[in-house]
């Protein structure tokens, strides 16, 4: 499983012509208990770096940005009833949405796991 990360703590997992998007373990730890998630509508066109979803915790509300440009093909409807999945399994059952890849080169600009780990350690 190859994950790529953004500086805004979103992750991307490439699955063929689509990608799965969520927030990193670091992000969910910083947020605390997630109480609400708003995912984009299927069919919505997203632009890299623009707001795509919202996650709210007991501490704060945060935007989730599109890590790449593309069209939303699926959303994790389970998060509406169980937003805590983001805390329990941020890289698995806590995924937010799936999307097509409009510009594959945008993936090249994202960090791999080692780069992201170094980035997060620098935030301390």
Whether the per-residue pLDDT at 38 is higher than 70: the answer is yes
Q: Tell me what the pLDDT averaged over the chain comes to.
A: 96
Bridge pairing between strands 18-23 and 34-38: unpaired
Q: For residue 1, what pLDDT band results from cuts at 50, 70 and 90?
A: low
Read off the pLDDT of each residue in 81-92 and give the average, rounded to a whole number.
97
Tokens 């699926």 belong to 74
**What does the pLDDT average to over 106-121?**
96
Residues 6+ apart with CB under 8 A from 106: 48, 67, 68, 69
Read off the tokens for 57.
Answer: 């915790």
The whole-number average pLDDT for the span 31-42 is: 97
CATH number of this structure's domain 3-102, picked from the four choices 2.40.50.100, 2.130.10.10, 2.30.110.10, 3.30.360.10: 2.40.50.100
CB 75 within 8 A of CB 64: no
Mean local confidence (pLDDT), 87-105: 97
pTM: 0.95
- Is pLDDT at 124 greater than 90 in this prediction? no
pLDDT of residue 78: 97
For residue 41, give the nearest of 96, 102, 106 by alpha carbon. 96
């Amino acid at each position: 499983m190859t994950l790529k990360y953004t500086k805004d703590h979103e992750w991307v997992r490439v699955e063929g012509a689509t990608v799965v998007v969520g927030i990193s373990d670091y992000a969910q730890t910083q947020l605390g208990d997630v109480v609400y998630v708003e995912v984009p509508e299927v069919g919505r066109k997203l632009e890299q770096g623009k707001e795509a979803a919202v996650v709210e915790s007991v501490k704060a509300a945060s935007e989730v940005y599109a890590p790449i440009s593309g069209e939303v093909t699926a959303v994790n409807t389970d998060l509406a009833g169980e937003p805590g999945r983001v805390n329990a399994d941020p890289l698995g059952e806590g995924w937010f949405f799936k999307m097509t890849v409009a510009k594959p080169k945008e993936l090249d600009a994202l960090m791999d796991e080692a780069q992201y780990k170094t980035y997060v350690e620098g935030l301390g």
